[in-house]
Structure 1
Amino acid sequence: MVNQSMAALGNNRSTIRELFEYGNQRAAVVGRENVFDFSIGNPSVPAPDAVRQAILEEAAGDPVVLHGYTSAQGAADVRTALADDLNRRFGTAYTGDSLYLTVGAAAALSCAFKAVACPGDEIAVLAPYFPEYLMFIESGAGAKAVVVPPSVQDFQINFDALEERMNEHTKAVVINSPNNPSGAVYSEQTIRRLSELLQEKEKQYGHPIYLISDEPYRELVYDGVQVPFAPNFYDDTIVCYSYSKSLSLPGERIGYVLVPPQAADSADLYAAVCGAGRALGYVCAPSLFQRVVARCTGLTGDLAVYQTNRDLLYNGLTAMGYRCVKPAGAFYLFPQTLEPDDRAFCERAKKYDLLVVPGADFGAPGHMRISYCVKTETIRRALPLFEKLAEEYR
């Protein structure tokens, strides 16, 4: 007998992955150019030239060192370089000892959740959220995920709903800004208010409540928007980061957990993150790409492409009557569907080979996620099909 809960996870892929595979099947029938796959957040902008140059130069070095193990928490010089970059950008004073390098953001989140969760603990998840959070929290960390419904007017935090769902078992709150799937960026006012609420609840319940800030889209913002750096507003913050989006390296699986020294029980917390990595089987992050990202700190791909895509898609859909909060970051649009049943709407969209993800998967029914990290021409060709789909509801 195998572990049936794990078998269920293996047999039932996420809707995003199911749509991605469906798109591959349709492409074999109608041609790749005739499938408008907006299902997955796979960056379409190439990595900066500096990434390729760093790979070539590192590859010319000692192959034993290049491909060998590093320390479990990451090479010391790499962690120092990443800490120095954070200090330069955010006015902090971190050292490499605050960083634990991971196999992407998924591993960073898994380690953070497992590090803080004790039996009976609850972790609040703010909708709309990345669907895998629930699996990481409940199947990976053994805690209870408590979903907080969204504020659909602006996709800032629904504070009344959050406070109603907090209790003495609340160990952490997860935020994701810029947000997947809405593209919303939490304002400084929102982060300050969240900090005040968490400080109040820490005093009320007599234990730390960690803010786990999932930040793979931190640099992907438009129109001069600034992303508040959460640890500068709330001491008990843990940051989970990935270079998958900023450097267009999703397949290379490289990220980190930041445990700031001002966080409650920071030494034990950092040790718990390391222990979680050990328990989950992460020996060390990929050695080559540790060195590559250390040489490419602060760089991004060409964000102008994403902004062009956002504007084209947002302006086109809203002109057709789709209602949507304009995203300030990431590379997703999250319009309301034209009928209350978002799953039915997304299924109908398949008739036009438009592949979009139901909002219910993100804790926000009545919406759809459209990933616009695709070729701009794909969006131009898809807009008339979205118009035909809209006409069915008029």
Structure 2
Amino acid sequence: MINENYKSMLSAKSVIRELSEYATARGKEIGYENVFDFSLGNPSVAVPQEFTDEMIRLLETEDTMTLHGYTPSLGNPLYKENIAKSLNERFGMNYGPEHIFPTTGAAGAISHAVRAVTKPGDEVLTFAPYFPEYGPYITGAGLKLSVVPADPSSFQINFDKFLEMLNKDVMAVLINTPNNPSGVAYSTETLKRLSEVLTAKSEEYGHTIYLLSDEPYREIVFAGADAPYVSKFYPHTLSCYSFSKSLSLPGERIGYVAVNPACEGAEFIVPMCGQISRGTGHNCPPSIIQQAVAKVCSLTADLSVYETNMNIIYDTLVELGFTVVKPGGTFYIMPKALEESSIEFCKKAKDYDLIFVPADGFGAPGFFRMAYCIDTEKVQRAMGRLREFVKEVYKKTA
């Protein structure tokens, strides 16, 4: 008999993927340059040349077993050493290679990290707006995911609701900063208070509450934003990272878990992740990608276009009377729709070939997400179409 749980998931299609597929099909009709597709968060800037050069060097000079043989179950030593060194130099940490576990992107990192610090039946809290895939990551580990409602005025943590929901069954808190879908980065003040709450409640409940920090957008931070390194604030933090955005390598599925050396059980967590891999069939990211990224892990692609695009969109939204919190990073922005239903708003926008994602699935009904990882020239043309849409449908002008 087939697994009914996974069968039932087939009917829950991703709204983002459906909209992206619609935009592709529409592009075949009218030319994709005329479809203003803000649906999918696929990096739009070139991979650093240094990565390409290193891949070529490896293929031309290294023997095939070094390139393509099995890596140790806990990852390539050079990759782990260089990641630890980079984090220490950039953020004043004291990681060793023994605190780094290579994963297939941030998704693999979260899946390993949450299993390492919980047992089936435990509860995990996260904060709206949140990435919808947290659902299967957490429930797939036999855990309960509870979502703290958003503070739509800032999209910082809603501490009143958080304190209401925090209880002795919560073993981990999962955050995402800078945040998909809002683009907001948690501030120093927010992270300090979060650390204080987790410290006090861990003592009250008699067990450590771990903090899982999902941070694939860590390097996409805009001028003036307060976006500190999360693990500096709370010792029991596991950082979950991906190079998908910083190096524009989403298809290579390469990331890591970084265990704060001051974390309870730090000496066990990476070896435990190796055992978790045995049960999930993970068994390390590709060997050659670990080797190549090891040499460029402190670099980024040219990420400046995202800030340029954000400013164009933010200024236009404000001009048109939208309620919107200015992003501190990522390549997302999440305005409030011009009517109660963001789903209806996005349907109407489609008539103007503007492809927006309703944020209901992100835990923020009434808002919509725009992923602006597209060419700036297209963003500028899209703003003209947005003005036309808002004027004709909602009778609003600048």
1:286 aligns with: 286
Aligned counterparts of 1:154 and 1:56: Cα–Cα separation in 2: 45
1:200 aligns with: 200
Mean Cα deviation higher: 9-18 or 125-134: 9-18
Write the letter of the residue equivalent to 2:218. Answer: R
Please show how residues 177-326 of structure 1 align to structure 2 within 5 Å: 177-326=177-326
Aligned counterparts of 2:89 and 2:290: Cα–Cα separation in 1: 19
Aligned counterparts of 2:298 and 2:224: Cα–Cα separation in 1: 16
Residue 120 of structure 2 corresponds to residue 115 of structure 1: no
Checking the alignment, whether the CA contact within 8 Å between 1:37 and 1:355 is kept in structure 2 is: yes
Write the letter of the residue equivalent to 2:300. Answer: T
Residues 34-76 of structure 1: per-residue CA shift (max 9 Å, x gap): 2111111101011111111111111111122111211122111
Checking the alignment, whether the CA contact within 8 Å between 1:36 and 1:353 is kept in structure 2 is: yes
Please show how residues 132-171 of structure 1 align to structure 2 within 5 Å: 132-138=133-139, 140-171=140-171
SS at structure 1 position matched to 2:263:
coil
2:394 aligns with: 393
C-alpha deviation, 1:163, in angstroms: 0.8
Output the aligned Cα RMSD: 1.2
Checking the alignment, whether the CA contact within 8 Å between 1:117 and 1:142 is kept in structure 2 is: no
Write the letter of the residue equivalent to 1:125. Answer: T
Residue 355 of structure 2 corresponds to residue 340 of structure 1: no
TM-score by length of 2: 0.96
C-alpha deviation, 1:4, in angstroms: 1.8
Please show how residues 8-157 of structure 1 align to structure 2 within 5 Å: 8-60=8-60, 61-138=62-139, 140-157=140-157
Aligned counterparts of 1:272 and 1:126: Cα–Cα separation in 2: 27
Write the letter of the residue equivalent to 2:133. Answer: E
2:358 aligns with: 358
Checking the alignment, whether the CA contact within 8 Å between 1:123 and 1:173 is kept in structure 2 is: yes
Aligned counterparts of 1:136 and 1:94: Cα–Cα separation in 2: 26
Residues 62-111 of structure 1: per-residue CA shift (max 9 Å, x gap): 12211121112211121011101111111111111101100111111111
Aligned counterparts of 2:367 and 2:11: Cα–Cα separation in 1: 26
Checking the alignment, whether the CA contact within 8 Å between 2:246 and 2:303 is kept in structure 1 is: no
Q: Structure 1 residues 278, 226: CA separation in 2 closer, same or farther (over 3 Å shift)?
A: farther
Checking the alignment, whether the CA contact within 8 Å between 1:116 and 1:272 is kept in structure 2 is: no
Gaps of 5+ in 2: none
Report how many aligned residue pairs link the two structures: 393
Checking the alignment, whether the CA contact within 8 Å between 1:334 and 1:367 is kept in structure 2 is: yes
Residue 356 of structure 2 corresponds to residue 328 of structure 1: no
TM-score by length of 1: 0.97
Aligned counterparts of 2:312 and 2:385: Cα–Cα separation in 1: 14
Gaps of 5+ in 1: none
SS at structure 1 position matched to 2:10:
helix
SS at structure 2 position matched to 1:309:
helix
C-alpha deviation, 1:159, in angstroms: 0.5
SS at structure 1 position matched to 2:239:
strand
Write the letter of the residue equivalent to 1:117. Answer: T
Aligned counterparts of 2:35 and 2:5: Cα–Cα separation in 1: 34
2:378 aligns with: 378
Write the letter of the residue equivalent to 2:217. Answer: Y
Aligned counterparts of 1:166 and 1:235: Cα–Cα separation in 2: 19
Greater than 3 Å deviation, 4+ residue runs: none
Aligned counterparts of 1:327 and 1:260: Cα–Cα separation in 2: 27
Write the letter of the residue equivalent to 2:82. Answer: A
SS at structure 1 position matched to 2:173:
strand
Write the letter of the residue equivalent to 2:108. Answer: A
Checking the alignment, whether the CA contact within 8 Å between 1:252 and 1:289 is kept in structure 2 is: yes
Aligned counterparts of 2:314 and 2:287: Cα–Cα separation in 1: 40
C-alpha deviation, 1:11, in angstroms: 4.0
Write the letter of the residue equivalent to 2:387. Answer: E
SS at structure 1 position matched to 2:124:
strand
Checking the alignment, whether the CA contact within 8 Å between 2:182 and 2:334 is kept in structure 1 is: yes
Residues 111-156 of structure 1: per-residue CA shift (max 9 Å, x gap): 1122222132110011111110011101x21100000011111111
Aligned counterparts of 1:19 and 1:5: Cα–Cα separation in 2: 25
C-alpha deviation, 1:226, in angstroms: 4.5
Write the letter of the residue equivalent to 1:380. Answer: Q
SS at structure 2 position matched to 1:352:
coil
C-alpha deviation, 1:267, in angstroms: 2.8
Aligned counterparts of 1:207 and 1:154: Cα–Cα separation in 2: 31
C-alpha deviation, 1:376, in angstroms: 0.8
SS at structure 2 position matched to 1:328:
coil
Checking the alignment, whether the CA contact within 8 Å between 2:74 and 2:270 is kept in structure 1 is: no
